[in-house]
Structure 1
Amino acid sequence: MRKIILNALIILIFIFVTGCTSNADTVDTPLYSGKSLSVGVVGETPEIREDHIHFTSISFEELEDYSKLSSNYDAVVIMKEHLQEADDNKYVKVYTHAGVPFFFIESTKSYMPFVLEDVSYEHSSLTNFNNDMYAIGYLQTGESSKNWGYGLYNDIVNDPNVNDAYSCMFTTIESIEDGTSKEK
C-alpha cells in the first residue's frame, strides 16, 4: 500500500513539475484579427494561421509595373530565396514609388540594398536593424519613408514564432495611416 501511494505521489509531482514548466522557445501570441488583406508574394506562399489574409503569387516582371501594385495589394512580401534578385537596381524605383509596403523575409542586410542603387545585397555591410530580424518592412510615400523590423521570440525559428512575426506584419499593414492601405 505504501509503495502505491509513493508511486502515485511521484507521478503527481512529475505531472505538476512538467505542467508548470514554460517552453522558452515560444510565446503565446494573438492572431491578427483586423480587416482582410490582399498581399502579393514573390516566392513560395508562407503558411500562416490567419485565414483572412489572401496571398497572390506575383513575379518580378509584375513588380515592374508598380503603378498597379497599390490598387491590387495592401503589401508585397519577398521571400528569402528571392532576395538576391530583389536587389537589382531596376527594382529600386518599384520599392520607392509603388505606394505599398514591401516586406523582405529573412533579410540579414536591412532594406537598404533594395532601395539604394548600386548597393549589392550580397556584398552589403549596411544594416539598420539587428541581423536577428526575421522580416524587414519598408514603405516610401513621396519624400517620407517608414521601416519596420520583426524579430522572433528568443531568436528561435519555429512555427509559432514565425506565425507571430507575420501577425505583427499584418497589424502594421492595417495600421498604415498614410492612405496607402486599401480597404477590401
Structure 2
Amino acid sequence: MRKLFIIVILMFFVSYLIHKANEGANFHSPVYSGRELKIGIVGDIPNIRENNVSFIQMSLEDVLQKKFVTKVDSVFITKKHLKEAAEPQYAKIYWESPIPFVFIDSEKVYLAFLDDQLSYEDAHTIKSGDYVVGFHKDTYFGIGLYNNIRNEKTIQDCYSRLFVIIERFKNTGKILIK
C-alpha cells in the first residue's frame, strides 16, 4: 500500500512538472505586422519573430553623443547595460529625447534612469512584473510577460506588443497604449 501511495504521489509530481514546463506555450501571440521599424540597441540583439524590425547596434557613448536621433525609431537598452545607463549624465538625454527609450528586463523602476540623483542600486524594485519599461517625455509604459512566465515565446510576444507601441509613436508622436 505504501508503494502505491509513493507511485501516485510521484506520478502527480511528474505531471505537475510537465504542466509547468508547457505553461505559457499555448497562448495566441500575434506577430507585429506594421510598418518597418529601426531600433537602436545597446546590448545583444534579441531573438524576435518579426522580419520588418531591424536593429542597429549602439553604445552608451553613442547615446551620450546623441547619434541615435535621426537613425532610429526607439532605443532599447538591455539588462547588461542598465546600471551604467542609469548614471546621472544620461538622465537629461532620456528626458529630452525625441524618441522613446526602452529598458529591457530592468529590476528597477523607470525613475532609476530619469532621476539624476538616484542610483540604480538605490531605486525601487519593480513590483509590477514588467519585462520592459519605456519612457518618452512625460509618459511611462511597461509591458509584462504573459502570466509572468519567462520563456522564449512569452519574451517574443512582449517584443511584438512593444513594436506596436513604437509604431503608434512613429505615426502620432505620442505613446499610445491600448
TM-score range, shorter chain: 0.7 to 0.9
Q: Deviations over 1:133-182 (max 9, x none)?
A: 11001111xxxx1111111111111011000100011000011154379x
The residue aligned with 1:15 is: none
Alignment partners' CA distance in 2, 1:168 and 1:48: 11
Superposition CA RMSD, Å: 2.0
Q: Is the 8 A contact 2:109 2:124 kept in 1?
A: no
Q: TM-score, normalised by structure 2?
A: 0.80
The residue aligned with 1:3 is: none
Alignment partners' CA distance in 2, 1:70 and 1:179: 14
The answer to whether residue 135 in structure 2 is matched with residue 138 in structure 1 is yes
Q: What are the equivalent positions in structure 2 for 1:73-88 lying under 5 Å apart?
A: 73-88=72-87
Amino acid at match of 1:139: H
Q: Secondary structure at the match of 1:138?
A: strand
Q: Is the 8 A contact 1:32 1:50 kept in 2?
A: yes
The residue aligned with 2:159 is: 166
Q: Deviations over 1:3-61 (max 9, x none)?
A: xxxxxxxxxxxxxxxxxx9x532322100000000000000111100011010110011
Q: TM-score, normalised by structure 1?
A: 0.78
- 5+ residue gaps, structure 2, are 1-18
The residue aligned with 1:124 is: 123
Q: Deviations over 1:60-91 (max 9, x none)?
A: 1110122x423111000000011000001000
Residue 126 of structure 1 and its aligned partner are, at CA, apart by: 6.2
The residue aligned with 1:16 is: none
Give me the identity figure in percent: 36
- 5+ residue gaps, structure 1, are 1-20
Higher relative contact order (CA 8 A, sep 6+): 1
Q: Is the 8 A contact 1:70 1:180 kept in 2?
A: no
| Number of aligned residues | 154
Q: Is the 8 A contact 1:109 1:126 kept in 2?
A: yes
The residue aligned with 2:173 is: 179
